[in-house]
């Protein structure tokens, strides 16, 4: 349901977090020297992995083993990754385009409810990515994405608790289609619930009521 990059977009064949010094420097906004200093202070392990370029040539390249990076730093990496994604392509624009496409095939949907449901669905997909890609717990994933979108951590926690009060981890493991259906029902029952960081992006002119 989303074309947005995930943390392991370049590592799909080996679902394990390895990072280059250059990628970390760009993501965290520090120098290459600064990354190496962090690595020494925090005890990261550097390993060599075979890397294939676009021409198919294979050569060894040094990577930092993500499992030796402290959880707090991994949360920072995740938050900065998705914050930069948001700057490059705001989630509200992505969701607005998707909802208008849906409306083109199923005219008469409630734009605002669908917008809210899909917006949160895609944020929870980011939480899932953080949990799976970095082997972090659910709380850490939610904190990272809340930080990326500069919203109170309680915003996502409260919503998750309402829609899935007992098995929060199970909700995160559900496919995006299932999460979207659950959240669409929630926003249909509670249409007054706001998206603090995105309600300004809901265009009333796009809203089509039943």
Integer Rg of the chain from CA: 19
Backbone angles phi, psi at 136, to 5 degrees: -100, 165
* Model pLDDT, residue 24: 95
Helix axes 176-189 and 153-163, enclosed angle (nearest 10): 90
* Model pLDDT, residue 205: 55
d(CA 136, CA 6): 15
* Model pLDDT, residue 199: 80
Instruction: Return the ∠ at Cα 27 (arms to 22 and 30), rounded to 5°.
Output: 70
Neighbours of 189 (CB within 10 A): 10
Identify whether the C-beta of residue 191 lies closer than 8 Å to the C-beta of residue 113: yes
Of 142, 29, 18, which Cα lies nearest the Cα of 68? 18
* Model pLDDT, residue 23: 92
Neighbours of 200 (CB within 10 A): 9
Taking CA atoms, 40 is separated from 37, 43, 48, 134, 205, in Å, by: 5, 5, 17, 20, 54
Taking CA atoms, 65 is separated from 20, 37, 132, 138, 166, in Å, by: 9, 15, 15, 21, 34
Identify whether the C-beta of residue 80 lies closer than 8 Å to the C-beta of residue 25: no
d(CA 147, CA 55): 38
pLDDT in tens, the chain (210 residues): 344 556 654 444 445 788 999 999 999 999 999 999 999 999 999 999 887 778 888 888 899 999 999 999 999 999 999 999 999 999 999 999 988 887 666 666 788 999 999 999 999 999 999 998 898 999 999 999 999 999 999 999 999 988 886 677 788 888 888 899 999 999 999 988 889 888 877 765 555 444
């Amino acid at each position: 349901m989303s074309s947005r990059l995930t943390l392991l977009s370049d590592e799909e064949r080996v679902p394990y977090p390895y990072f280059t010094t250059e990628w970390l420097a760009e993501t965290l906004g520090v120098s290459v020297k600064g990354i190496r200093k962090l690595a020494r202070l925090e005890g990261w392990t550097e390993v060599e992995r075979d890397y294939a370029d676009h021409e198919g040539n294979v050569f060894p390249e040094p990577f930092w083993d993500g499992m030796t990076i402290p959880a707090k730093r991994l949360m920072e990496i995740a938050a900065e990754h998705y914050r930069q994604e948001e700057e490059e392509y705001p989630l509200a624009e992505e969701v607005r385009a998707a909802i208008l496409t849906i409306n083109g095939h199923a005219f008469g949907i409630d734009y605002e409810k669908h917008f809210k449901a899909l917006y949160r669905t895609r944020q929870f997909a980011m939480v899932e990515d953080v949990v799976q890609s970095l082997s972090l717990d659910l709380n850490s994933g939610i904190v990272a994405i809340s930080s990326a979108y500069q919203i109170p951590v309680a915003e996502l926690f409260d919503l998750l608790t309402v829609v899935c009060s007992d098995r929060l981890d199970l909700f995160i493991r559900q496919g995006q289609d299932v999460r979207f259906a659950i959240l669409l029902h929630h926003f249909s029952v509670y249409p007054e619930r706001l998206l603090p960081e995105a309600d300004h992006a809901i265009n009333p002119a796009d809203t089509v009521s039943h």
